[in-house]
Amino acid sequence: MIRTEALTRRFGDRLAVDGLTLEVREGEILGLLGPNGAGKTTTVRMLACLLAPTSGRAWVGGHEVGREASAIRSTVGILTESPGFYKRLSLERNLRYFADLYGVSSPRAAARRYLERLGLWDRRTDAVATLSKGLRQRLALARALVHEPKVLFLDEPTAGLDPESARDVRRFIGELTSERRTVLLCTHNLPEAEELCDRIAVLRTRLIALDRPAALKERMSGGRVLVELGNPRPEFATGLHLPFVQRASLEGNTLTVEGANPDRDNPTLVRRLVEMGAEIRSVTRDERTLEDVYLSLMGRDDAAG
């Protein structure tokens, strides 16, 4: 549904997106995950035909970016990073306007459908200026969908929202999967990507990794175990000499052992520590979150670049 081939964009000397090649399948939610400045927004803007790529090619819904811009714009719905509205006009008027620009056959009915679906129908005649940030974001989702696009670009849909609004928005995005829409979701929020996405593309100017969330975690498998000691001594960290331990460090009362698979290795680790004379108060597993994977991917990129 979306395909890019060595998609690249420069701003002057600065490379914003470098040789991005990926494919988003129909009905899939693909997360574009990366820190600020990673090139997520630039990627979306190129795919929505708002910015021209410096080089490379891309196709959205079978149309080539750059050649069939108007066909792409009609196929695509976009929730921009900071989605603004005409604040003096009503919710309904705002939605109707965009539906109309997209050539929806009955803008009024479409506006109504999405106002209802996002729980905004009661507020339809209010000026947008009176909406809270969370409700405004819901309206932005309604706008992105009002012309029934097959492809959706959601650029940081929960950024800056309070936790409750963010959860509402995530729940709504989750519901979209049942509609066979193809979604490209930009986020720097890992749990969000993990929760919503079928696959995650880790981006930092270049594509660093692309896989299912579980596979990404597995790839970087190996957990961390935190051992709280009654008698912290440096040799507990330096003298472990166990094959599965990649790194051990002592900080205060806590010994952090990296590389251990808690299920398999904890008994051995505990036995060894006891042999060494450690007084163990507690052992906690600190499993790798996707965040660790992500951070280590980012770190590796630093080392490489």
Partner 1 sequence: MRRVRVLIAKEWEELRKIKMVIYGALFLPLLMGGLAGFMVWQGQGLPPEAQAALFNTALMYFLILPVMIPVTLAVYSIVGEKEQGTLEPLLATPLTDWEIFAGKALVAVLPSLVLTWGVFLLFLIAAHVILGGIPAGVLSVPWLLSIFVLSPLLAVFGVLVSMLVSSRTSDPRAAYQFSGLAVVPSLIPLIAYSIQMTAVNLLLVILEGGILVVLNGALLYLVVKLFRREEILTRWK
Ligand X SMILES: Nc1ncnc2c1ncn2[C@@H]1O[C@H](COP(=O)(O)OP(=O)(O)O)[C@@H](O)[C@H]1O
Interface with partner 1, residue 85, by CB under 8 A: yes
Provide, rounded to whole angstroms, the least separation between the CB of residue 290 and partner 1: 30
Among 13, 36, 243, 303, binds ligand X (CB under 6 A): 36
From the list partner 1, ligand X, Mg ion, none, partner contacted by residue 255 (C-beta under 5 to 8 A by kind): none
Q: Quick check: 109 binds partner 1 (CB under 8 A)?
A: no
CA-CA distance, 272 to 278, in Å (whole number)?
9
Does 104 participate in binding partner 1 (rule CB under 8 A)?
Answer: no
Residue 78: closest CA among 98, 59, 104 = 98
Question: What minimum distance in Å lies between the beta carbon of 170 and partner 1?
Answer: 21
User: Which residue's CB is nearer to partner 1, number 74 or number 256?
Assistant: 74
The DSSP string of 88-144 is TSBHHHHHHHHHHHTT-S-HHHHHHHHHHHTT-GGGTTSBGGG--HHHHHHHHHHHH
Q: Listing from the earlier edge strand, what are the strands of the sheet with 55-60?
A: 14-24, 2-11, 55-60, 63-64
Query: Among residues 22, 24, 33, 41, which is the contact residue for ligand X, using CB under 6 A?
Result: 41
Residue 39 makes contact with ligand X by CB under 6 A: yes
Q: Is the dihedral of CA 199, 203, 209, 213 positive or negative?
A: negative
- Count of residues touching ligand X (by CB under 6 A): 11
* Dihedral pair phi/psi, residue 229, rounded to 5°: -110, 145
Residue 267 CA: distances (Å) to CA of 202, 228, 292: 35, 15, 24
Per-residue contact string for residues 162-201; x = within reach of Mg ion by CB under 5 A: ----------------------------------------
Which one, 67 or 281, has the nearer CB to partner 1? 67
Alpha-carbon distances, residue 186 vs 103, 127, 219 (angstroms) = 27, 29, 22
Backbone angles phi, psi at 106, to 5 degrees: -125, 90
Contact flag: residue 286 with partner 1 (CB under 8 A): no
Give Cα 16 to chain centroid, integer Å. 18
Residue 43 or 165: the one with the smaller Cβ distance to ligand X is: 43
- Eight-state DSSP code of residue 150: S
Which of 2, 7, 16, 196 contacts ligand X by CB under 6 A?
A: 16
Stretch that binds Mg ion, among 40-48, 128-136, 137-145, 170-178 (CB under 5 A): 40-48
Which residues ranging from 47 to 76 are in contact with partner 1 (CB under 8 A)? 48-52, 70, 73-74, 76
Rounded to the nearest whole angstrom, what is the least distance from the CB of residue 154 to ligand X in the complex?
12
The region of 33-41, 135-143, 144-152, 290-298 touching Mg ion under the rule CB under 5 A is 33-41
| Between 46 and 255, CB nearer to Mg ion | 46
Query: Would you say how long the chain is, in residues?
Result: 305
The span from the CA of 135 to the CA of 59, in Å, is 33
| Binding positions for ligand X, rule: CB under 6 A | 11, 14, 16, 34, 36-42
| Binding positions for partner 1, rule: CB under 8 A | 11, 45, 48-52, 70, 73-74, 76, 78, 80-89, 93, 97-98, 100-103, 143
